[in-house]
């Protein structure tokens, strides 16, 4: 009887240990957005911010998984589950109270981009763009930004589900402009067989938020956040972060 009791106690402790371990497992999530984060030819996570996250985890001595999923699912999982982290969530005033923020991973300007040869676009401002059709990806802050600027869906605003669809709309001349970060363009276009030399920037949106951060749920423990945040600060201070940027040509 004593032996059976010991076995049952061991099984319960093992189950609890495994359950707690699973519950405390960290997961970093991102969408497919080269060169920041994408799956390589062997279906392994790759990209400049994947390298940043790996360096942070190594410095913090923390194990975690990296998963790819559509932006909307990343956002939902990160907001409502503890120990889930988005690599590169644009920090905006409306998002700030919804998440805990670990630190900036990248800073990138936003532009209205179009096909070359559009002389009518050379000196446009945001109000001029309302007479055209501007595209972006559904769920991005750029959708919110354009709607706040009084762009209207199915009139002068077009929303795509991913960057392949969005760039296809531009190159087929179904939309006039795309609101985007210019840094990732070449990788995106090459991946879908389009030529970056066919496009150009027409307007920099200076009031558009430009800081990408690691974000997590309000339910994630402050102890975990501090450990990861300190590690991010450390890799910036010791040169690791800049080495990663240089490796990727950024």
Predicted confidence (pLDDT) per residue in 189-237, tens digit: 888 899 999 999 999 998 898 889 999 999 999 999 999 999 999 999 9
Residue 107 pLDDT: 87
Q: How does pLDDT run across 55-94, given as a tens digit for each residue? A: 999 999 999 999 999 888 999 999 999 999 999 998 988 8
Q: How many C-beta atoms surround the C-beta of residue 186 within 10 A? A: 16
Give the model's confidence band at 16: pLDDT under 50 very low, under 70 low, under 90 confident, else very high.
very low
Is the pLDDT assigned to residue 249 strictly greater than 70?
A: yes
Per-residue DSSP letter, 120: G
Is the pLDDT assigned to residue 159 strictly greater than 50?
A: yes
Q: How does pLDDT run across 193-202, given as a tens digit for each residue? A: 999 999 999 9
Is the pLDDT assigned to residue 18 strictly greater than 60?
A: no
Query: Which residue matches tokens 């430009």?
Result: 210
Residue 3 pLDDT: 43
For 72-92, b/e burial (b = at least 16 CB within 10 A) is eebbebbbeeebbbbbbbbbe
Q: How does pLDDT run across 94-103, given as a tens digit for each residue? A: 899 999 999 9
Instruction: Tokens for 170, please give them.
Output: 């531009």
pLDDT, mean over the chain: 89
**Right CATH for 110-204 from 3.40.47.10, 1.20.1560.10, 3.40.50.2300, 3.40.190.10:** 3.40.190.10
Nearest to 55 by CA among 246, 249, 234, 248: 234
Instruction: Tokens for 67, please give them.
Output: 């998963």
Is the pLDDT assigned to residue 1 strictly greater than 90?
A: no
Torsions phi, psi of 158, nearest 5?
-120, 130
CA distance 77 to 85: 9
**54 contacts: CB under 8 Å, gap ≥ 6:** none
Cis peptide leading into 208, omega within 30 of 0?
Answer: no
Q: How does pLDDT run across 95-142, given as a tens digit for each residue? A: 999 999 999 999 888 999 999 999 999 999 999 999 999 999 998 889
Residue 183 pLDDT: 66
Residue 109 pLDDT: 85
What percent of the chain is modeled with pLDDT above 70?
89
Nearest to 155 by CA among 137, 129, 118, 179: 129
Superfamily of domain 2-106+212-247: Periplasmic binding protein-like II (3.40.190.10)
**163 contacts: CB under 8 Å, gap ≥ 6:** 33, 137, 188, 192
CA distance 190 to 195: 7
Torsions phi, psi of 66, nearest 5?
-115, 125
Intervals of CATH 3.40.190.10 along the chain = 2-106+212-247, 110-204
By the 8 A CB rule, do 134 and 179 touch? Answer: yes
Is the pLDDT assigned to residue 54 strictly greater than 90?
A: yes
């Amino acid at each position: 009887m004593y032996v059976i009791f010991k076995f049952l106690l061991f099984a319960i402790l093992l189950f609890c240990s495994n359950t707690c371990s699973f519950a405390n497992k960290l997961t970093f999530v991102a969408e497919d957005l080269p060169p920041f984060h994408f799956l390589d030819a062997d279906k392994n996570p790759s990209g400049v911010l994947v390298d940043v996250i790996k360096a942070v985890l190594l410095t913090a001595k923390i194990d975690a998984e990296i998963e790819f999923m559509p932006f909307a699912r990343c956002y939902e999982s990160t907001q409502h589950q503890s120990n889930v982290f988005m690599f590169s969530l644009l920090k905006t005033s409306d998002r700030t109270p919804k998440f805990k923020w670990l630190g900036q991973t990248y800073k990138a300007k936003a532009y209205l981009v179009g096909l070359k040869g559009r002389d009518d676009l050379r000196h446009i401002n945001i109000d001029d763009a309302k007479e055209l059709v501007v595209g972006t990806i559904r769920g991005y802050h750029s959708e919110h930004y354009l709607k706040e600027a009084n762009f209207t869906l199915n009139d002068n605003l077009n929303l795509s589900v991913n960057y392949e669809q969005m760039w296809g709309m531009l190159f087929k001349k179904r939309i006039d402009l795309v609101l985007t970060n210019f840094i990732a363009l070449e990788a995106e276009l090459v991946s879908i067989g389009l030529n970056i030399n066919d496009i150009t920037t027409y307007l920099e949106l200076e009031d558009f938020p430009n800081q990408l951060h690691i974000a997590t749920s309000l339910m994630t423990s402050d102890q975990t956040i501090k450990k990861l945040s300190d590690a991010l600060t450390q890799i910036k201070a010791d040169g690791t972060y800049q080495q990663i940027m240089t490796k990727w040509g950024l």
